[in-house]
Chain A
Amino acid sequence: MRRWWSDARHFQIVALSSLLLVNFTWIDFGAKPLYCALAILSALATQAVCSRLAGLPNIDLRSPLITGLSLGLLLRADEPWLPALAGVIAIASKFIFRIDGKHIWNPAGFAIVVLLFTQHGIWISPGQWGTSVWLAALLVFFAILVLQAAQRSDIALFFLGSHAALLLARAVWLGDPLTIPLHQLQSGSLLIFAFFMISDPRTAPDSRLGRLLFALGVAALGHYLAFFMQMRPALYVALIALSPLTLLIDRIIPAKRFAWTPQGASR
C-alpha cells in the first residue's frame, strides 16, 4: 500500500481546507460556507457521474476536492446556484475537452473564466486575504511544493518569478518605489493561481523547458491584459487562453506524461 504522504494532493487538500477554516473562524476574506459547500459537492458529484460515464474503474475524489476548495476560496457569487454550476463546469470540462489523454484546461480556472464572461453575478475578490494570511499561505504552499518536487510543480516558481520580474520591470520603468510591486504580489488569488492552477500537473507542459516557456507566456499575457486592457482577473484569462498551446509545446518538446499514480488511470 502506498504511503499517505506520497501523494501531494493530500497536502494540498489539508492546506486549502485550513485556509477556508481561517476564513470562517478568524479573518474573513469573503468565502461563504454554503457557497463553498455547494462548489465542493457539485465538483465531487460531477466527478462521480463523469467517472461512471467514462467507464473508469474507480472514482478518485481527491482532484475534484482540490478544484472545489479552490473555487470556494476564489469565486464570489450573489446566488448559490452559481458556485454549484462552477463545480459542474470545472469537472465536466476535464472529461470533455481532452486531447492525447490530457485535459486542456485547469478545471477551476476554466470554470472561473467561463462564468466571469457569461454571468453577471460572479466576481473574484483578489485583495481580501490581508498580509498575514498571505504570508502564511505562501510559506505553506511553498513547503508543499518542496515536498512534491518530483511532480513538476517547478512551473509555479517559473510563473511567480516571471510575474514578479514583470511587475518589478514596470515599477522601474514608471519610476515607482519598490513597495508598489511588492504590494501587488500580496494577493491571495495570485497564490492559488500559481500553486494550484498553472501548476496543475495534469495540464502543464510535460518538459521542463516547455513549462518555463508556458509560465513566461502566461505571465506576459496576464501583464498585458491587466495593465494595458485593465482586466482585473487577467491571470485566469491568460492561463485559459494559452492552455491549448501546451499541446503544441508537448509535440515540439516531448517528455514523459504525468500521472498522479504510477498506473496513471485517474482523471
Chain B
Amino acid sequence: MKSPLLSRLKAGVALTAIVAQLAVAAGPASAFCGFYVAQADAKLFNKSSKVVLTRNGQQTAITMASDYEGEPSEFALVIPVPSFIKKDQISVVDTKTIDHLDAYTAPRLVEYFDPDPCEEARVMALSSERVPLPTAAMPAPAPEYRGVKVEARYDVAEYDVSILSAEDSDGLIRWLTDNGYKIPSGAEPVIGSYIKQKMHFFIAKVNLKRMQDSGRAYLRPLQVRYETAKFMLPLRLGTVNADGPQDLVVFALTKKGRIEASNYRTVKVPSDVDVPLFVKNDFASFYKATFEHAVARENMHGVFVEYAWDTGWCDPCAAAPMSKAELTELGALWDGGDGTVVNRFSPVPGNGNAPFVTRLHVRYDAKSFPEDLNFIETSDRENFQGRYILHHTSASTTACPAAKAYRASLPQRFKTEADNVANLTGWSRDEIAARIAAAGK
C-alpha cells in the first residue's frame, strides 16, 4: 500500500520521533508523561517475581522483589549464593525504585492521530501506555544438622539474615525446617546439587519487632552484592513444588550492552505492530495474551526480551528514565571510575555512558527450564522496546480527493489491525470483532 496516506503517516511518525528527542534534550525526561496511556507492568502476571541483576565484570548485585502478600511472619527466603556474604554486602532497596524500573521498561502502547487528510501533516500527539510486570516465585519457604554451619547472622532492616554453609542436603533441610523454613518435598536433590557446587545459602525471615518499629506495612526488596564469575540466576529451588508455571522478570543493568541467556533461546517479544483502538481500554489483557501466545510459540523454552535500552533516555517514555541515585541504589555505580555514575543526562540520546538495561521475561517450570538461567553480556546496545501502536482516524469531514482516498483505505487498515491482534494474541476473529464492537471503534 504505497499510498499518499502511508507516506503521510510515516511523516507523522518521523515527526513524533524528532519531537521526542527534543523533549529528551530539553530536560531530564518525563516530558511525555502527560500523554501517557498504559503500560504492561509486572503486576499483570500472577505468581511473578522481579529481580534486578546488575553486573560489571565480576561485580554482581542481585535485588529481589517478590509478590509476597501473606503475613510477614510467614515470609521466608532461601537463595543459593556463590560465596560467603558479609554484612556490608546486604541492604534493602526502596520498593519504588524497582517499580520505577518496571514502569520505565514495561511494554507500551503508543497512539498516533491521523492528520486531516486534506491538510499537510500537523504535529501529532503521542501517548504511551504501560503494562504491569510479574514477580519471581520465592523459593517456597518450606534432630541432627550434620555439616550445617551458620556462618553469620545479620540484622538487615526488617530482615533477619543468616548465611549458611552445608555439607549435606539432609542436614540443611532439617535445620531449615526446624527454624521455621517450610522446605517443600522434592527440594533435597536441588539443595544437594548447590551444596556440591560449593554454594552458600542466604536465608532471610522478617523480624516483626523491627518491622513494627519502622512503621512500615510492607516488605522492601533485599539486595545482595558479591563478586562471582558465575553470571546466572538460580531458578530451580523455585520450581520445586510450584503449582503451575511462574513468571520472572529480570532487569539486567550492565555496562557494555544487552544480556541474553546462554542456555535458552532469547527472543524479542513481537513489537511495533498496529492494533485496533479497543486495545487502549484493554491493554493489560491484550499484552498478557500476546506474551502467552509468544511463550506457546517457543514451546515455553524461550526467554523474552521486552526492553533493551540505554538507561539515559527513552522514546517514547513509559516512565521517566532512572535517576543516578536509583541506578546506584540498584548497584550500577561503575561509570565514573570513582564509583559514581557520570554524565547521565546528556543532551544526546545514548552517549554510551549510562548503564544498559535489558528486561527479560521468562515463564518457567521445572520441565521447560530444567537448568538455572545462565547469561552472557553482549556488546549490542541496539535499542528495543515492546511497542504497540494505535492510529486514530481523522474526524475531518472536509471534502477533497485525498479525503476520499483516505476514507476508502480505512476498511483495509481496520482489517489489518484486527488480523495483527489475531496473530499476536491467538484470539479468534469473532472475539476480536466482539471486542471492537464493544468498544464502538
- Pick the contact of A127: B189, B257, B260, B299 (CB < 8 A): B260
- The residues of A that contact B197 with a CB separation of less than 8 Å are 174
- In the complex, the answer to whether A174 meets B257 with C-beta atoms within 8 Å is no
Docked Cα-Cα span, A175 to B190, in Å, equals: 8
Q: Does B380 sit at the interface, judged by CB under 8 A?
A: yes
Interface 9-residue window, one of A51-59, A89-97, A145-153, A179-187? A179-187
Contact of A174 (CB < 8 Å), options: B192, B261, B266, B301: B192
Contact in complex: A126, B262 (CB < 8 Å): yes
A14 within 8 A of B: no
Cα distance, A173 to B379, chains bound together (Å) = 36
Query: Separation in Å of the A173 CB from the closest CB of chain B?
Result: 7
Verify if B298 is at the interface (C-beta below 8 Å from A). yes
Q: Does B86 contact A (CB under 8 A)?
A: no
Nearest-Cβ distance from residue A113 to partner chain B, whole angstroms: 16
Q: Once the chains are docked, how many angstroms separate the CA of A180 from the CA of B197?
A: 15
Q: In the assembled complex, how far is the CB of residue B170 from the closest CB belonging to chain A, in whole angstroms?
A: 12
Shortest Cβ distance from A119 into chain B, in angstroms?
9
Number of residue pairs A-B, CB distance < 8 angstroms: 73
- B370 near A77 with CB under 8 A, answer no
Query: How far, in Å, is B268 (CB) from chain A's closest CB?
Result: 9
A232: CB under 8 A from chain B? yes
Q: Which residue of B lies closest to A123 (CB)?
A: B378
Whether, in the assembled complex, B392 has its beta carbon less than 8 Å from a beta carbon of chain A, the answer is no
Binary interface profile of A, 116-132, with partner B (CB < 8 Å = 1, else 0)? 00001111111111110
For residue A211, CB closer than 8 A to chain B, the reply is: no
Q: How far is the CA of A229 from the CA of B264 in the complex (A)?
A: 21
State how many angstroms separate the Cβ of B147 from the closest Cβ of chain A: 15
Set of chain A residues within 8 Å of B377, measured between Cβ atoms: 123
- Binary interface profile of B, 120-158, with partner A (CB < 8 Å = 1, else 0)? 000000000000000000000000000000000000000
Q: Contacts A180-B370, A183-B371: A175 and B263 contacting too (C-beta < 8 A)?
A: no
Question: Which residues of chain B have C-beta atoms less than 8 A from A127's C-beta?
Answer: 260-266
Q: A173-B196, A174-B193, A174-B196 are contacts. A76–B265 as well, Cβ < 8 Å? A: no
Question: What residues on A are CB-neighbors of B229 within 8 Å?
Answer: 229-230
CB distance B301 to A130 under 8 Å? Answer: yes
B230 near A: Cβ within 8 Å? yes
Contact B370–A183 (Cβ < 8 Å): yes
Least distance between A139 CB and chain B CB atoms (Å):
19
Option from B193, B230, B261, B379 in Cβ contact (under 8 Å) with A176? B193
Asked if A262 CB lies within 8 Å of chain B CBs, one says no
A183 and B263 in contact, given A121-B379, A174-B193, A175-B189 (Cβ under 8 angstroms): yes
- A177 within 8 Å of B (CB atoms): yes
Task: Kindly list chain B residues whose C-beta atoms are within 8 Å of the C-beta of A184.
Answer: 263, 371
Tell yes or no: B100 within 8 A of A by CB.
no
Is B381 an interface residue, CB under 8 A from the partner?
A: yes
24 residue pairs A–B, Cβ–Cβ below 8 Å: A76-B380, A78-B379, A78-B381, A120-B256, A120-B379, A121-B379, A122-B379, A123-B376, A124-B376, A125-B260, A125-B262, A125-B376, A126-B263, A126-B376, A127-B261, A127-B264, A131-B301, A174-B196, A179-B367, A183-B263, A187-B263, A230-B229, A230-B231, A232-B374
**Which residues does A use to contact B, with CB under 8 Å?**
29, 76-78, 120-131, 173-177, 179-180, 183-184, 187, 229-230, 232
